Structure 1
């Protein structure tokens, strides 16, 4: 199975080498699903780190592919706006829920701040104790010596339990949360056409209805540290209950943000260690490397491939002039593999000295506010794995999500060994 993957990668390397740069379109979701996107970004970093794609499924867009140039765009909130949305595709004006990630100041910090205590430093201790117990329970129920899908039994279940905790969502209905997250990202604007638009809208309106009930019950309830209570009781966000699209947009942002990064890094770490077995041996010999390995997993996997900005004025960057109104894509998946920043960047090195310098969480004012919770979950997962299993062996090629935005897994067949 691994040989088939390597053969596909070799074909992609040839295509990336021979295709004229003016014909480059790195937005094609099928390349990410096949895990053959990297050669195209490697060439962009070498030859055109600021590159204009004139024609694509999503219209013209600029690719920012080097670590240095991504940092320049991501920290320049005066000239690069989030208001156009964060994905390559344009938003549907008839169904366009607003959220703080697609807002600029002053709205962005005003809407973001109320939710932050749910994942803030003061909460981490309580969350860690709870999640360790839950992760241990998930691990103890896994079969030994039998093949199963790691994504379904471990990655999704652990992430779902954390999401249910952060929202104080009804426990018996918790599996709706990753389902709704997948519906949000099954989006033509992200290269996924698997869901009819009207069906997608119907499902998200069902999601809205569920959250409206929780919002109404908590807006006048006792103070609590879950996302819904914090926002429903804060003066800056309490009126979301009267604005259904804004309520839906912000809650779905928090669900997707809490789902995709952790879920796909839990799977990606297992895949990375199996692709680099010498690193697995290193980990078992020295479990103190787990915290640094967590950063390296997030760098190597890069769960979300990019973020979009829109130029608010003409900007010169990397010797190119980006015009006002142009769509600008910061390809985190490329910046995290930039050889100018990370030595032997395609290698998975659990002791990498600058692994924490990855940009998977973004940078600047839009940096992922739940990054510490994500890192904590990954650390706990690997601490509990090493207590129980000598190996999590991948026994077949992963099945990846069809998306140019979410670098995720649908299936990862594994066998556990004592």
Structure 2
């Protein structure tokens, strides 16, 4: 970490501990873009584990933050008290652009829709995908430039996960980068730099236009699949599934966004995070290269360390007491996975990147209860394979500059990570 980054971290710590608790807004995207979120969550865990904040963003307003591991697990496991409807993000949906999706539903509808797509990550299908992912990972890595700087996010993380996602959808190969764009647009705010304008109204208009392009494209695929025999791809599963075949256009789009973001954004950001984490912790990289058998443990530790989705929102269905605070029926509740994964009371040395830590899968990046990530094994598989293939090929990957992080408090990720693969002597 250079002097500028250290100064930024020191300033963040001073700000986090000097401002009144009620002024802390953990959903501020700027603290995620600058990677200065940590002291704010540290203070909340210590002093206000159930914390009320009011965001300046009109669609967010007031919300509760839950920041300790065990409290998050309790909220996430109690879908009767903490509902996923109407959305799993803090901004409320616009009345004229509501996107139902099964992750933002309660039982019984959630259960039957999730069950429709879950065969895509069944053990036998993962075994089938493993060889495909490995072959593609090899092609991607063999095509990387040696001795010159390139963007790891674009060349590797996006490419591998988008290839995998295109396979899951049986999506036209030549258009697969559309999936990346739709994933980014679905979760981005006006200040993200993804839109032609930073004006909130114009950015939202463009976002809707692009997402309508997404659903129109996928509707053509739907019409092809519904006329054919059922196949083991996500569109065919949705088109033929009893619980999903009668979805309207907006519910279809909602579930598409869920599957695209869940199948792409989170894994790609963890792949990028693994390169950064090992670069920042050379002792751990040395340990990994000396013992490739640690790859599965390293994968789990990276998923904890990165926490690619920073939070999930719930909405209280009744008044409930937590740590002396009353959460009222109808209140928004943010479960900050990114904070729970650094909870000193539950996780040993939580701020360390420790690839052979005991119980490496003891983290909350995949959530708990009925909404636990359906694709967690596929995410782990892609990370495992890419690192098995990296270690076969490259003695070193050097990060050559600071990452450019996503401007979002929901998706905790990277827009760019410059690296060089040194030429062999």
TM-score > 0.5, shorter chain as reference: yes
Asked if 1:133 corresponds to 2:140, the answer is no
List aligned pairs for 1:37-186, cutoff 5 A: 37-57=37-57, 58-186=60-188
1:228 maps to which residue?
235
The answer (yes or no) to whether the contact 1:25–1:56 under 8 Å persists in 2 is: no
Cα deviations by residue, 1:265-308 (Å, 9 ceiling, x for unpaired): 00000000011111001111111000000000000000000000
Kindly indicate whether residue 357 of structure 2 is the aligned counterpart of residue 355 of structure 1. no
How big is each residue's C-alpha offset from its partner over 1:121-154, in whole Å with a ceiling of 9 and x where there is no partner?
A: 1211110011000000000000111110000000
**1:286 alignment partner in structure 2:** 291
Counterpart secondary structure, 2:419: strand
Give the structure 1 partner of residue 18 of structure 2.
Answer: 18
- Equivalent position SS for 2:313: strand
Matched, 1:198 2:200: no
Deviations 1:8-45 (A, max 9, x none): 11110010111111221111101100000010000011
Q: Which moves more between the two structures, 16-25 or 367-376?
A: 16-25
What secondary structure, in the 3-state scheme, does the structure 2 residue paired with 1:256 have?
A: helix
Q: Secondary structure at the match of 2:231?
A: coil
Report runs of 4+ in structure 1 exceeding 6 Å deviation.
none
Measure, in 2, the Cα distance between the counterparts of 1:35 and 1:55.
19
Question: 1:192, CA displacement in angstroms?
Answer: 4.7
Q: CA deviation at 1:318?
A: 2.3
How far, CA to CA, are the matches of 2:150 and 2:357 in structure 1? 31
Aligned with 1:382 (options 366, 373, 387): 387
* 2:221 is the counterpart of 1:219: no
Query: Residues 387-408 of structure 1: CA distance to partner in whole angstroms, max 9, x if unpaired?
Result: 0001111010000110010111
Q: Deviations over 1:211-256 (max 9, x none)?
A: 000001001312211100111111111112xx11111110111000
Shifted more, 54-63 versus 273-282: the winner is 54-63
Secondary structure, counterpart of 2:361 in structure 1: helix
Shift of the alpha carbon at 1:97?
Answer: 1.6
Aligned residue pair count? 414
For 2:250 and 2:22, locate their aligned partners in 1 and report how far apart those are by CA, in whole Å.
39
Q: Give the Å deviation of 1:2.
A: 3.2
Q: What residue in structure 1 maps to residue 200 of structure 2?
A: none
The secondary structure found in structure 2 opposite 1:97 is coil
Post-superposition offset of 1:6: 2.0
**Partners of 1:220 and 1:233 within 8 A in 2:** no
State yes or no: 1:273 paired with 2:290.
Answer: no
Whole-angstrom CA distance in 1 between matches of 2:237 and 2:52: 42
- 5+ long unaligned stretches in structure 2: 196-202
The TM-score, its normalising length taken from structure 2, stands at 0.95
Matched, 1:365 2:380: no
* CA–CA distance in structure 2, aligned partners of residues 55 and 222 of structure 1: 49
Counterpart Cα distance in 1 of 2:276 and 2:204: 33
Residue equivalent to 1:346: 351
Match of 2:198 in 1: none
Rounded to whole Å, the distance in 1 between the matches of 2:282 and 2:90 is 36
Looking at structure 2, the residues matched to 200 and 54 of structure 1 have their Cα atoms a distance apart, in angstroms, of 25
Query: Contact (CA 8 Å) 1:97, 1:246: kept in 2 or not?
Result: yes
1:251 maps to 2:253: no
- In structure 1, the residue matched to 2:324 is 319
Per-residue deviation, 1:338? 0.6
- The 2-side partners of 1:119 and 1:56 are apart by 40
RMSD: 1.2
What secondary structure does 1:350 align onto? coil
CA distance in 2: counterparts of 1:11 and 1:134, whole angstroms: 43
CA–CA separation in structure 2 for the residues paired with 1:352 and 1:107: 39
Distance in 2, Cα, partners of 1:322 & 1:95: 28
What whole-Å deviation, never above 9, does each CA across 1:300-334 have from its counterpart, x for those lacking one? Answer: 00000000000000011222211111100000000
Report the CA distance between 1:4 and its aligned residue: 2.0
What CA distance in whole angstroms lies between the structure 1 residues aligned with 2:5 and 2:222? 46
Q: CA deviation at 1:5?
A: 1.8
Q: TM-score, normalised by structure 1?
A: 0.97
Structure 1 unaligned spans of 5+: none
